[in-house]
Amino acid sequence: MAKPRIFISSTFYDLRQVRADLDFFIEQMGYEPIRNEEGDIPYGKDEALEEYCYKEIKNIDILVCIIGGRFGSESKQNNRSSITQMELKAALSEGKQVYTFVESNVLSEYETYLMNKDGDIKYRYVDDKRIYEFIEEIKSLKANNTIKGFETASDIVKYLREQMAGLFQRFLEEQTRVREIGLIKGLEKTAQTLNKLVNFLSDENKDQAEEINKILMINHPLVEELKTTLDVTYNFYFEGLQDVKQLLRARGYSFIDDLPFGDPLPYYTWSKTQNRKDYYLKISKEVFEDDLKLKFIRKSDWKESFVTLTVDEAEEDDDLPF
């Protein structure tokens, strides 16, 4: 299972215990800590070691930057920045989630630096003025510029735990929004379909009566009734009596013509014999127009008596062959 990869960036000797405590916390959370002293960064032979740190940042999810009183190793890329500072800049340029922590004493003295940064003075809690210059650079960023003070590693752990819980809650919230967006898109698609149908039925499409009729007949009550009565599993539609005859012929039914004498019956009749049973299917003539085309009938106006199916036991032939 993929785990979030969290890069711990800081000077080593003065903050090695903080780094170890954070490593333990990250593993307890089920995430993967990345520390160069643990061999978590693959180093090659073609470039300076710091370059491989910057490349590894492309493969992480979160960078935790810890700034103490030591400037640390100077970067070969930029002599105004340390390797730790360059790692943070690399994470920012890659759009990674960054959490920056500064020792409380350093952060307090930062205000002194702001009032005297143009002067040549010594600072108590840092060994290099460039640390304060870097903090000033971070604070000037438009995003990802939050800085949190700390006294012990437990302060960092508490803050990170709360932040990660917030990230997880935001993830759950976004999943809910994804479902809501899916519903909205579904409604938009339905609205587009209805809009097309309205346009199709508008005055400029009066010559499309035949296509409109097909749309209406697909859901005709007679279709639904015969699908249920005959246990038909596929879709079909009728235009008139001839289509009904063809469907029933395919289902084994024979059409019974009206008798040449007497009043015509109010329904059409089909029959078949199967498994020693006689089936009689009747469809009311009210369902059809005078030209035998299917009449449009609303579902609310449909009557159960329009279609009936009766089943009788077939009569046995008692005549002997001798």
Query: Residues 170-182: pLDDT tens digits?
Result: 888 887 777 777 7
Using a cut of 0.75, tell me whether the model's pTM lies above it: no
| Whole-number pLDDT of residue 187 | 74
Report d(CA 256, CA 243) in Å as an integer: 16
Average pLDDT, the chain: 85
Q: Does residue 12 sit in the same domain as residue 126?
A: yes
Residues 233, 285: Cα–Cα separation, whole Å: 25
Model confidence at 217: pLDDT above 70: no
Whether residue 229 lies inside any domain: the answer is yes
At 150-204, the pLDDT tens digits run: 999 999 999 999 998 888 888 888 877 777 777 777 777 777 777 776 666 665 5
Higher pLDDT, 45 or 289: 289
Q: What are phi and psi of 7, to 5 degrees?
A: -90, 125
91-136 per-position pLDDT tens digit: 999 999 999 999 999 999 999 999 998 888 889 999 999 999 999 9
Q: How would DSSP label each residue in 180-202?
A: HHHHHHHHHHHHHHHHHHHHHTS
Asked if the model's pLDDT at residue 13 lies above 90, the reply is: no
Provide the domain limits for residue 59: 5-175
Tell me, yes or no, whether 320 lies in a domain.
Answer: no
In this structure, are 271 and 153 located in the same domain? no
How far apart, in whole angstroms, are the C-alpha atoms of residue 250 and residue 63?
A: 71
Sort 77 into a burial class: Cβ within 10 Å, 0-12 / 13-18 / 19+. Answer: middle
User: What element of type H or E holds 270?
Assistant: strand 267-274
Provide the edge-to-edge strand list for the sheet that holds 32-34.
Answer: 32-34, 5-9, 62-67, 97-103, 147-150
Q: What is the largest CA-CA distance in the chain?
A: 136
pLDDT digits 0-9 by tens, 43-87: 777 787 888 888 899 999 999 999 999 999 898 888 788 999 999
Is residue 319 in a domain?
no
Considering the domain architecture, whether residues 51 and 143 belong to the same structural domain is answered as yes
Average pLDDT on 129-144 reads: 89
Q: Cα(117)–Cα(134) distance, rounded to whole angstroms?
A: 12
What CATH number should be reported for the domain holding residue 74?
3.40.50.10140
